[in-house]
Amino acid sequence: MADETKSALDAVDEGPVASGAESADAGGSTGSPDDHASVAALVRKYPDEVLRYRLNAGDQYVVWLRPDRSHEILAWLRDDADHRYDMMSDVTAVDYGSGRPVEVVYQMYSTPHGRQLRIRCPLPLDAMEIDSVYDLWKSVNWLEREVYDLFGVTFRGHPDLRRILMPDDYAEGHPLRKDFPLRGRFSRAEQTRRALNQDVERFYLADDLTYGEPQEVGGAEVGHQGGEG
């Protein structure tokens, strides 16, 4: 048991292991674009922008696009009557490590046509920027902020691009990047020192920090933990 614990801790000290080169295309098949109306249309309309496509999990088509015209293409997928992807379910990113591009991932759904599509845009590590699609789907506001926070992708044109999970002054980088150490970039002593020196009033109102005072939620008073609700 002691040897297993030591081995696990050694793995933490060694840091993250980069994914293999095949990770982006693991599983699935090339499929046929004719089996998905939107994939076929993308290949016809934007042949120079479609890098490749793939069928995963039996029915999930994934299309890799060059990022330069991503906003134009996504707007077309939303507005064209034959596609009408009116729902952006998720925006996230993937870092495969080993110097490979970070991919911004869009999970889309067309409620009129009952059709889903996943778009991936690879960004080279020296150009981690892509146009925001907040003007197309308001639901991406916090999703793009999360990708910015955890992966370091800048979304041009986002109305309020700032960290959403980590503190505004977080100085250790972007925690979901493969080059991010599992224990952070700072020593535990430095992390503790920074935590203890935080000015909590920068993030909370003074009234929020007063123990025992009820908080108002929707006009109703809610008691603090340990008190009566």
The full set of domains in the chain, from first to last, is 25-222 (3.30.460.80)
Q: Please report the pLDDT score of residue 22 as a whole number.
A: 46
Q: Please report the pLDDT score of residue 209 as a whole number.
A: 65
Q: Please report the pLDDT score of residue 190 as a whole number.
A: 84
Q: Please report the pLDDT score of residue 193 as a whole number.
A: 85
Residues recorded for the chain: 229
- Give the CB-side neighbour count of residue 36, counting CA atoms within 13 A: 25
Q: Please report the pLDDT score of residue 227 as a whole number.
A: 46
Q: Please report the pLDDT score of residue 194 as a whole number.
A: 82
Give the chain's residues under pLDDT 70: 1-28, 200-229
Q: Please report the pLDDT score of residue 188 as a whole number.
A: 85
Sign of the torsion angle spanned by Cα atoms 189, 190, 194, 197: positive
**70 CA to centre of own chain:** 16
Closest CA to 211 of 227, 187, 200: 227
Q: Please report the pLDDT score of residue 27 as a whole number.
A: 57
What CA–CA distance (Å, rounded) separates 199 from 117?
A: 44
- Which tokens belong to 169? 């002054």
- Which tokens belong to 76? 């077309």
DSSP for the chain reads: -HHHHHHHHHHHHH---PPPTTGGG-SSB---GGGSHHHHHHHHH-TTTEEEEEEETTTEEEEEE-GGGHHHHHHHHHH-TTT---EEEEEEEEE--TTPPEEEEEEEEETTTTEEEEEEEEE-TT--EEE--TTT-TTHHHHHHHHHHHH--EEET-TT---SSS-TT--S--TTSTTS-TT-SS-HHHHHHHHHT--GGGTS-GGGGSTTPPEEETTEEEPPTTS--
CB 203 within 8 A of CB 210: no
Closest CA to 120 of 139, 140, 104: 104
- Which tokens belong to 97? 């490590």
Q: Is 98 left (phi over 0), alpha (psi -120 to 50) or beta?
A: left
Mean confidence (pLDDT) of the chain: 84
